[in-house]
Amino acid sequence: MRYLLLILAALFVFSGYSQETGDRYASRMTQDGTIFFIMPQKLSKTEGIRRFEYDMTCLTWSDTVTINFTIKSKHIETPENITIVSGDNSYKPVKTKILFIDLKKNEYEIRTSCQFLWPDIEKIFTDEQKPTFCLSQNGLPESATYKEGKWNKERKTLSNILNLFKYSKK
């Protein structure tokens, strides 16, 4: 019965929202449940860092969502004080680890993995206020967010994907 409901939900999403979600996510059924992978998104409004790109992995059997992000920076120091700010709320990861640090064209590329609680992710990415990824390196604050006009479209896309994920968790 659960698989029938998942199929019906997928048909609903693909028929009603296929243009909005496009190629923004992939899902796979596993023995334990469903994995949703939200494809990388580059945020071009940055302060203190040259490039910021993130992706998300949601597992129906987990209470956390993994957000991996890559930054390009002049600093080799690993990111600290990582938070996502949405409106008046600030959300901290429950777990953080550095995946790698590499040197590319005289800049450091740093890949970080953070786990956030599912209810926080749901609030962050469905809120009308655009999320801002905040961190520090060398004690200096850095941030990345969406450009003004892009967040409304992206919020609708992410809301559709996260609603399907939420439905799959039941």
Predicted local confidence at residue 146, as pLDDT: 96
d(CA 170, CA 164): 10
pLDDT at 110 over 80: yes
Predicted local confidence at residue 111, as pLDDT: 98
Report whether 84 contacts 106 (CB < 8 A). no
Instruction: Order across the sheet with 80-86: list the strands.
Output: 45-47, 140-145, 132-137, 80-86, 89-91
Alpha-helical segments (H) within 28-87? none
SS3 141: strand
For the chain, the domain total comes to 1
Q: For the chain, percent helix, then strand, then coil, each to nearest 5?
A: 30, 45, 25
Of 138, 157, 161, 136, nearest to 146 by C-alpha is 157
Predicted local confidence at residue 8, as pLDDT: 34
The amino acid that residue 146 corresponds to is Y
Average pLDDT over residues 84-110: 96
Average pLDDT over residues 23-48: 94
Segments forming the whole domain that contains residue 154 = 2-169
Alpha-helical segments (H) within 33-137? 118-124
The model's pLDDT over 67-80, given as tens digits with 9 standing for 90+, comes to: 999 999 999 999 99
